[in-house]
Chain A
């Protein structure tokens, strides 16, 4: 049994709404995982680019000023 508050009243979702909610949650979990993978890839590239800048002779302060953390 899944409840929600509607206009400050506790009401139970009907079976159709509950099925929809669960299906949307599955989709949201997939999208969340995809965003995490993309974010991790972004961080990896960021670290790689940062190291290349350091290898070129830039100081830590200069890199920080250019790209932030």
Chain B
């Protein structure tokens, strides 16, 4: 049995694989230098996630919850189970949203009392007609719009995102900005820059995606993400 090999020694003959049992001693990563890339073949052994400690914080988006609409509903909402002090900034991604009827105005509302009521919003949007030059500006909506006059269709719908900032602040109002692409009920498509705020210094702990004029959402997926703080 080889008990010790000095730095000056080299093992020059082929080792018998059947004799290679037991564990190698721990090797410092700092000692692994000058490895020949061509000799690094095969697969790494499985590593338990619990062993991956001491990695630098990566930040980024954390998926919190996702709802795919399978039956018509008035809203898709997330409450303080997901919107709380864990994250300060959130992203709502909506894909393929379609109302049950034409001429609906989809959007988002924030609540500071877990959905019992909704704060006073000031919302607006800038719209640009695709395949055209028309632009429109709308301000002072009572919710954050995801465009207007949406069509009930299954091939276009409403897709986009909204970022909500500083939901836990007790000194600042809550701002939200985003963008989306929308199929209008007349068959045209509009790109929207969407924005709004609530004049509240109470923490937001509930949001809902809905159609403001009272219809239902028939299809689509709404996903809530948190921005990691680090």
Using CB atoms and an 8 Å cutoff, list the residues of chain A in contact with chain B: 2-8, 10, 13, 21-22, 24-29, 31-32, 35, 39, 68-69
What 6 pairs between A and B have smallest CB-CB spacing?
Answer: A25-B214, A69-B133, A28-B212, A4-B75, A5-B76, A8-B67
Q: Is the CB of B74 within 8 A of A21?
A: yes
Which residues of A sit under 8 angstroms from B67, Cβ to Cβ? 5, 8
Determine which of A3, A4, A32 lies in contact with B213 in the assembled complex, contact meaning CB atoms within 8 Å.
A32
In the bound complex, what is the Cα–Cα distance between A32 and B185 (angstroms)? Answer: 15
Select from chain A the residue with minimum beta-carbon distance to B209: A5
Query: Which label, helix, strand, loop or mixed, suits the secondary structure of the B interface?
Result: loop
In the bound complex, what is the Cα–Cα distance between A4 and B222 (angstroms)? Answer: 13
Q: Say how far B201's CB is from chain A's closest CB, in angstroms.
A: 24
Q: Is the CB of B134 within 8 A of A69?
A: yes
Give the contacts of B80-107 with A (CB-CB under 8 A): 81-82, 105
Q: Is the CB of B73 within 8 A of A7?
A: no
Give the contact-size bracket for chain B.
20 to 34
Using CB atoms and an 8 Å cutoff, list the residues of chain B in contact with chain A: 65-67, 69, 71-79, 81-82, 105, 115, 132-136, 138, 141-143, 148, 208, 212-214, 222
Determine which of A10, A39, A68 lies in contact with B73 in the assembled complex, contact meaning CB atoms within 8 Å.
A10
Contact A29:B77 (CB < 8 A) given known A39-B136, A68-B135: no
Q: Is the CB of A2 within 8 A of B213?
A: no
Q: Is the CB of A4 within 8 A of B105?
A: no
In the bound complex, what is the Cα–Cα distance between A26 and B212 (angstroms)? Answer: 9
Determine which of B81, B135, B214 lies in contact with A7 in the assembled complex, contact meaning CB atoms within 8 Å.
B81
Q: Is the CB of B133 within 8 A of A35?
A: no
Q: Is the CB of A3 within 8 A of B214?
A: no
Contact A28:B213 (CB < 8 A) given known A7-B82, A8-B65, A8-B66: yes
In the bound complex, what is the Cα–Cα distance between A26 and B78 (angstroms)? Answer: 24
Determine which of B78, B134, B136, B213 lies in contact with A25 in the assembled complex, contact meaning CB atoms within 8 Å.
B213
Q: Say how far B131's CB is from chain A's closest CB, in angstroms.
A: 12
Q: Say how far A16's CB is from chain B's closest CB, in angstroms.
A: 10
Q: Is the CB of A5 within 8 A of B213?
A: no
Which residues of A sit under 8 angstroms from B214, Cβ to Cβ? 21-22, 24-26, 28-29
Which residues of B sit under 8 angstroms from A26, Cβ to Cβ? 214
